[in-house]
Amino acid sequence: MKITPTVTQLGREGAKKTAPGELFVIQFSDGSYTLIDGGLYVREDADALMDFLREHNPNKNEKPRVSWMFTHAHCDHMHLALAFLEENFEKIELLRICYSFPDFTKTVISRENVGSVADCKRSSERIDALLADKYPSAERVIFHTGDIIEFPDCKTEILYTYEDFPDGEFPYVNHTSSAWKMTFSTGKSFLVPGDCEKSLCAQMAEKYGEGLKCDVFHTTHHGFNGGELDFYKYAAPSVCFWTVDRERFENDTRCLGTKSENYPFNLWIRANCDRHYPADETVSVNMETLDII
C-alpha cells in the first residue's frame, strides 16, 4: 500500500528543558521512516515515539522500518535517539544511521565547555557500539556535502557538513552541524539546517541561493541565534517548525527577533510565513498538499 509522505514534528516534554533539541519523523510512501535527531532523553518522549511508529506503521504485523539521520552530536540532538535504539532493538528494524561528525579526539572546539565536547565524543562512540552489538545488519552512512541519499520517493541532498568549515578550529560544536534538503516525488521539500550557526547559513545562502527554496523548514538552532537573513529569505517556507516549546516561541526575545542584538531572520520569517509550530505539540504535514494532519 502506497501512502502519502509526511513530515512530523513530534511533541516532546523535552522541548521544555534548557536544551530543547529536535525530533522529526519522516514517513515515506512505502511506510518506512527516517528520524532526524531526537532531543534530550525523556522517558515519556521515547514511549511516545514508539507509539507513533507503531500507530502509523502500515503493516501492523511487521516491525517499523527506521533510518536515523543526525545533524550533529550535541546531547539535545542525540541522547533520546541513542537510548531509544538501545531499548527498542527487538521492536524496530534499523535500516541505516547517517551522520557526519568530526573526530572529537583530535578536533579543536575552542569555546565549548570541555564536558560538552566529551559528551559528543561518547555519543559518537555509542553509535559504534549500537551497530556492533544490536544492529549488525544496519548500514552506516558517513555523508559529505553534495551526496544524495535515496529514500523511497525522496532524495536527500547534503548541503553542508563540518568539512566545509573554512577553519580547522571550530568555536562551538554547532559549527560542526550538517544541513540537508529532502525533496519528495510530490515536488514538496523539507529543509533541515540543524543547529548551523550564522556563518554556515551565510555560506549556504551564497552557494545555493534559490536552490534553498523549500515548503517546510525548521528554524536553525531552535529559533535562537544562528540564523541568517538571506538564508531564510531563500528558504521562504510555507510551514515553519520551531524546536522550542510554545512559551519560548511566544516570549523569548531571540525567537521574537526583538533581542537587543536584533535577530532580523526571525523577524522576517515570522512576518512572511503563515504557519508556525513549536515543539511541544505534535504536528504532521502532508507532503503532497502541505495540509496539517
User: Is the predicted pLDDT of residue 48 greater than 80, yes or no?
Assistant: yes
According to the model, what pLDDT value does residue 147 have? Answer: 99
Phi, psi (rounded to 5 degrees) for 152 = -55, 120
End-to-end CA distance of the chain: 19
Q: What is the pTM of this model?
A: 0.98
Query: Between the CA of residue 233 and those of 49, 130, 216, 240, what are the distances in Å?
Result: 32, 40, 13, 13
According to the model, what pLDDT value does residue 155 have? Answer: 98
What is the CATH code for 6-286? 3.60.15.10
Across residues 147-175, what is the average pLDDT?
Answer: 96
CB atoms within 10 A of CB 292: 11
State how far the Cα of 141 lies from the Cα of 148, in Å rounded to an integer.
11
Across residues 49-74, what is the average pLDDT?
Answer: 97
pLDDT category, 28, cuts 50, 70, 90?
very high
According to the model, what pLDDT value does residue 260 have? Answer: 74
**Structure-block grid coordinates of residue 44:** 515519556
User: Residues 63-96, buried b or exposed e (16+ Cβ, 10 A)?
Assistant: ebbbbbbbbbbbbbbbbbbbbbbeebeeebebbb
State how far the Cα of 229 lies from the Cα of 248, in Å rounded to an integer.
21
User: Is the predicted pLDDT of residue 167 greater than 90, yes or no?
Assistant: no
Across residues 219-238, what is the average pLDDT?
Answer: 96
According to the model, what pLDDT value does residue 259 have? Answer: 78
pLDDT category, 40, cuts 50, 70, 90?
very high
State how far the Cα of 67 lies from the Cα of 8, in Å rounded to an integer.
15
pLDDT category, 17, cuts 50, 70, 90?
confident
Domain boundaries, the chain: 6-286
Average pLDDT, the chain: 96
For residue 270, count CB atoms less than 10 angstroms from its CB and return exposed for 0-12, middle for 13-18, buried for 19 or more. middle
According to the model, what pLDDT value does residue 18 have? Answer: 84
Residue percentage of the chain with pLDDT more than 70: 100
